[in-house]
Amino acid sequence: MKLKSVGIIGIGYYVPEKIMTNADFEKIVDTSDEWIKTMTGIEERHYIAEDKATSDLCTEAAKKALENANLKIDDINLIIVSTVTPDYLAQSASCIVQKKLGVKEIPAFDISAGCSGLVYSLTVAKGLIQSGTYDKILVIGGEVLSKVTNMQDRGTCVLFGDGAAAMVVSEVEEGYGILSSYIGAEGEDDHILSIPAGGSKKPNTVETINNRENFVQMNGPEVFKFAVQAFPRATKKAVELAGLKIADINLLIPHQANIRIIESAMKRLRIPSEKVFINIQKYGNTSSASTGIAMGEALADGKIKKGDVVVLTAFGSGLTYGSVVLKWAY
């Protein structure tokens, strides 16, 4: 039986209004604009308001994706939210988004795969549509990393921002859409990027909070070592599964974590800079929202047209990694 072609038919993204510049961080920790730009490529990032949460960002991004697809929320029959910063531990962010979008009954669940979450979610959505179980799926990646960032740790506090990206996934014209995906994990290295406290292993106590274990902790050199290997490997595997070559890529959209990681991957893949979309300077690392925000911007900038081969590649906590190859459908 021939499987349906499944792809993205609408996309939207949303970032909060408040901007934190490198100059702002110079007032908080011992750092400099020059050091941050040189080491990470980041110039500014967006922070959510104190009374808002991940579901608020996801909801706004979802509305824009539905508008872009010329659909209403009633046309959707499943919501998947990728996040490591849900509003609450017990209620899934997807269910809260469902409520805020004003729809009932349709199923909703979260995926926690770190910065690779959107790639994982697209892979799951494609399979569910090809199985005939669902027709149109709303896939969202949203994060509020500013609220889990240790503002006393100069090595991590400058890296992260808040934002969300949403995609409507559905059947598309034959030969277009998601051509392949490749996802993986290396759980043995989970300790190099984590939030140690707040879960069932180590619930928050006065001690864990005093030790700031409820914030992101990262072994930067080890994460870098993992990323520069996993990034090109996942990209190559996904491209091979699509029956293509690296030279066939029209636009590579990498996870916007660190400019040096992106540049290292570009060299290993031998892909020119004009085929790589970078916006890390504007948003920092927004985890699972990262590739979606970048794709939304690239589309708005006219850098993606129908028939283009677009590749999303990400890596993140878990540790996880993955890549999706699409032939753009509209």
Catalytic center residues: 115, 255, 285
Buried b (16+ CB within 10 A) or exposed e, 100-114: ebebeebebebbbbb
CA geometry: angle 261, 316, 33, nearest 5 deg: 50
Residue-wise DSSP of 149-208? --TT-TTTTTTB-EEEEEEEEEE-STT-EEEEEEEEE-GGGGGGEE--SSSSSS---HHH
CA contacts within 13 A on the Cβ side of 41:
17
Tokens (6 digits) for 161: 């921002």
Sheet holding 78-82, edge to edge: 6-14, 162-171, 136-144, 78-82, 108-111
Question: Alpha carbon of 56 to those of 18, 22, 270: distances in Å?
Answer: 15, 26, 39
Chain position carrying tokens 């993955």: 322
Question: Alpha carbon of 124 to those of 103, 158, 249, 259, 298: distances in Å?
Answer: 22, 32, 23, 29, 24
In this structure, are strands 44-47 and 78-82 parallel, antiparallel, or unpaired?
A: unpaired
Cis status of the peptide bond prior to 319, with omega within 30 of 0:
yes
Q: Helix or strand or coil: residue 85? A: coil
